[in-house]
Amino acid sequence: MSTDKIESQADVWNARFDDRDDEDLACQVWAQRLTAREQAMAQPIRNFTLPEAANDDKPSAD
């Protein structure tokens, strides 16, 4: 006699196609990307200066 454990087809299907781990991983990756994005946005662009034209007198239509 065989001593193999007999599993129902539903149990085998659930074991192979359980995507809860995938959902957890996707959530973790999303959180990491969000954190990296927030950190990148908090850092100013290096060697970037605003154009001086913003402080110049505006031409007037006479």
Digit-coded pLDDT (tens) for 15-52: 777 666 788 888 999 999 999 999 888 777 777 666 66
What the block records as the tokens of 15 is: 């074991």
Please check whether residue 55 lies inside any domain of the structure: no
The pLDDT score that the predictor gives to residue 22 is 80
Please check whether residue 40 lies inside any domain of the structure: yes
State pTM to two decimals.
0.40
How confident is the model over 7-18, as a mean pLDDT?
Answer: 80
Distant-in-sequence contacts of 19-26, Cβ < 8 A, 24+ apart: none
If one counts the domains in the chain, the total is: 1
Please check whether residue 49 lies inside any domain of the structure: no
Give the alpha-carbon dihedral of 39, 22, 20, 36, to 10 degrees: 0
What residue numbers bound the domain in which 27 lies? 9-44
Stretch (H or E) spanning 58: none
- Asked if the model's pLDDT at residue 59 lies above 80, the reply is no
The pLDDT score that the predictor gives to residue 48 is 67
Please check whether residue 52 lies inside any domain of the structure: no
Please check whether residue 4 lies inside any domain of the structure: no
- Asked if the model's pLDDT at residue 54 lies above 60, the reply is no
